[in-house]
A and B are shown apart, each in its own frame.
Chain A
Amino acid sequence: MKLTFRRKRISGTLVVVPANERSFVADMKNFNFPESRSLKLKEVMGFNKRRVVGPGVCVSDLAVFGLEHLFERGWLKRDEIDGLTVVTQTPDYLIPGTSCVIHGRLGLKQNVFCMDISQACTGFVMGLIQTFMLLEQESVKKVVLINSDVLSRKVSPQDRNIYPLVGDACSITVLERDPEDSVVHAAVKVDGSRAGALTIPAGGMRQPHTPETAELEDAGDGNLRAKDHLFMDGAAIFNFVQTEVPPMIEGLLAHVGAAMDSVDYFLCHQPNRFMLEKLADKMKIPHAKMPNSVVEHFGNNSGVTIPTVMAFNLRERLLHEKFRVCLAGFGAGLTWAGMLLNIGKFDFNTIIEYK
């Protein structure tokens, strides 16, 4: 599905990461694998440091912390928020939505359109699309897009498939109308038949949490995890990304008539360095145009990886310059989505620590 938006822009991005840092080397002893094999994996995948929340920290804690930071510095005013879009798969509660929790904790005005979207690694692009749709309304001038997950609370420390790569974070992206006649193009794809490749089996209505679903089970590959934990079929997800993402990006650019080399940066979701290098090679994109260092410094923080690339790899430059970028997210659902747009001259673009 192809979508087009006019006169919409990102005016700033703030990323909140927990101050608590874990290292892959320290975690290796939890895994049922020889350390030499884990160290080889570290080198190839780029696993190193990651940021994770402490016990009990929720999405709304990170979001409220970040928004208060923006209010204090005058980068955003409390009463100018007309919409609050929260994208998460680790909500504070089943009911109510996390957007309403954040709205209440911040004491925002009643005339705010709050919505929650259940998306993970595709969530930044999906959130931008939904938020741009909201901005089509005359009464909506400024919308805050919050992407956040605290997935470290839902992974088994004895699952080498996923534990070393998961990080927690929250991004706050402010979106508004663009006085320039800018155009944003997007593409969205879904294949729900492969939903089981990335899932938390228990804890919802289909299989409620019980003492049994919390018990660690031998996955048969040297890893131990419970049904309450996040499961990822790594090989299937890798193949999905390599097969589906390049034609989606190439199709989006072809649809718009944009050449590959007209794009300054390809800002992709950051599962690991190896996967991104293979993606870049397949599309003949120089590695420098597709940054891949987020997982090394912060872990794979779900829908926050693309804002983290913006704030970590292009921090100062996005305050003063403008770039033509292609965003690409892919993950649970399975979903994958891309967006071609101009970004830059942000009011703010930084990373802060939640303590």
Chain B
Amino acid sequence: MMKTTTEILKEIRPEFDFSASNDFLADGMLDSFDMVTLVAALDKNYGISIRGTDILPENFQNLQTIETLLRNSGAKI
């Protein structure tokens, strides 16, 4: 059963409401290790491998940038 990106984010940092932020990193909701955990979860969920060179803070800023990253990585969403 495929999860949504919001559900995956909630599993990593259950204490935050990700729909209420437009900059997860600036708001202290994700750090670089959380990004790594998120990429591994997204890879598994969508059956893709996000390129290592795309693991950049600007691609994990908010739900829209993560969705763009997923599409560019071949995810069918």
Contact = CB atoms under 8 A, between A and B. Distances in A.
B26 interface: no
A221 interface: yes
A278 B40 CA distance: 10
Contact of A242 (B34, B36, B37, B55): B55
Contact of A221 (B31, B51, B55): B31
B49 A41 contact: no
Interface residues of A, number: 24
A45 to B, nearest CB: 7
A234 interface: yes
B77 to A, nearest CB: 20
Interface residues of B, number: 17
A222 B51 CA distance: 27
Nearest to A38: B33
A36 B57 CA distance: 23
B19 interface: no
Nearest to B31: A221
Contact residues of B: prevailing secondary structure: helix
A320 interface: no
Contacts of B57: 235
A239 interface: yes
A219 to B, nearest CB: 11
B1 interface: no
A315 to B, nearest CB: 29
A234 B32 contact: yes
A274 B40 contact: yes
A279 B52 contact: yes
Given A37-B12, A40-B12, A160 B53 contact: no
B55 A45 contact: no
A278 B33 contact: no
A24 to B, nearest CB: 13
Given A37-B12, A40-B12, A221-B31, A238 B52 contact: yes
Contacts of A279: 52
Contacts of B40: 43-44, 274
B31 A275 contact: no
A335 to B, nearest CB: 19
12 contacts: A40-B37, A41-B37, A239-B52, A239-B55, A241-B52, A243-B53, A274-B36, A274-B40, A278-B51, A279-B52, A281-B51, A282-B51
Interface of B: 12-13, 31-34, 36-37, 39-40, 49, 51-53, 55-57
